[in-house]
Structure 1
């Protein structure tokens, strides 16, 4: 029997997490069985329990990983308010809408996360709060906590806008919803900015 080192096990675990994140966003939590998730990672079902206690454990870990990657993506935009505008426009773009497996875990999985066990909900909450706090620090650099609730509201607006746009069969209407969502989000942010 071949024994692998800690680095190999960690790399394998990370591959499972990343491939599971993409599959979960594309097919949903309920639509992604352990066998499919492991096959995506190029592994057998038997290897699953060497890395995770349960599917719920993998879901919580994958969602946390996806939101961490989203925080990194948001951090890649310009600093300050200019970056917030760029984030809103990129988030509410046809490209993001049309590629859910590469996009926001919240927009793809929110309804299902709401039905998950408390540890998954807590992992999601912690990750979303960190993401929102990053944006709040851009919006109100001298008092980020003062902007947290407003940013959460704008993030919720953006998630719902993206979900609605994805659900519409009429492509022009779906694009119009995204454009209106950008205007709505920026209007709320303008009203929330210090000095408004």
Structure 2
């Protein structure tokens, strides 16, 4: 019974983290109060503090979980540069642009993360480093360190392109930004 209770608490905590991740990416960190986040998870406000010390604690956990999930997803890509090309095309797609709640935490939350506390910024830094390392390993498997600069450039190019495409009210211009972003990223890789 004790083990069940512990597993149940962990599953509930994970549900809060996952639903909050979706909500943060959709409405922003500041645009999401604890009552909304708990309602999304099907729980009462009172249950929040059984799992997290504060909203900042939740945000740091969400950022860690989101980036870990993103990096884990890279394992499903084709090996090497082909997988990286697939990633660029998927990342800079209209579907990803139009559904921020299901997408990359960097493109959705970067401006807010820069205003968050140390714990959240550290969680983001660790996750961003893992993403850059994964990109570098795909660019130059024999010597990932040699591709680190290019990996940083590619990551920033992808995130910035997606953010810009989301900010535009003109659909045609937004689509053009995404298409050009893919072309730029692929030529940058070679």
Gaps of 5+ in 2: none
Measured in 2, the distance between the counterparts of 1:95 and 1:73 equals 17
Q: Aligned runs of 1:68-147 on 2, under 5 Å?
A: 68-147=68-147
- SS of match in other structure, 1:5: helix
Measured in 2, the distance between the counterparts of 1:90 and 1:41 equals 28
Measured in 2, the distance between the counterparts of 1:153 and 1:178 equals 17
Show CA shifts across 1:30-61 (max 9, x none): 00111111111011111111111110111111
Gaps of 5+ in 1: 191-196
- The equivalent of 1:24 in structure 2 is 24
Deviation at 1:149, TM superposition (A): 2.5
Deviation at 1:76, TM superposition (A): 1.1
- The equivalent of 2:185 in structure 1 is 185
Deviation at 1:64, TM superposition (A): 1.2
Deviation at 1:72, TM superposition (A): 2.1
Deviation at 1:77, TM superposition (A): 1.1
Q: Which range moves more in the overlay, 146-155 or 178-187?
A: 146-155
Q: Which range moves more in the overlay, 13-22 or 37-46?
A: 37-46
Measured in 1, the distance between the counterparts of 2:148 and 2:99 equals 28
Measured in 2, the distance between the counterparts of 1:58 and 1:76 equals 28
Q: Which range moves more in the overlay, 103-112 or 125-134?
A: 125-134
- SS of match in other structure, 2:189: helix
Deviation at 1:4, TM superposition (A): 6.3
When normalised by structure 2's length, the TM-score is 0.96
When normalised by structure 1's length, the TM-score is 0.93
- The equivalent of 1:41 in structure 2 is 41
Measured in 1, the distance between the counterparts of 2:148 and 2:35 equals 39
Measured in 2, the distance between the counterparts of 1:119 and 1:187 equals 36
Q: CA RMSD in A?
A: 1.2
Number of equivalences? 188
Show CA shifts across 1:72-104 (max 9, x none): 222211001111111000000001001000000
- SS of match in other structure, 1:52: coil
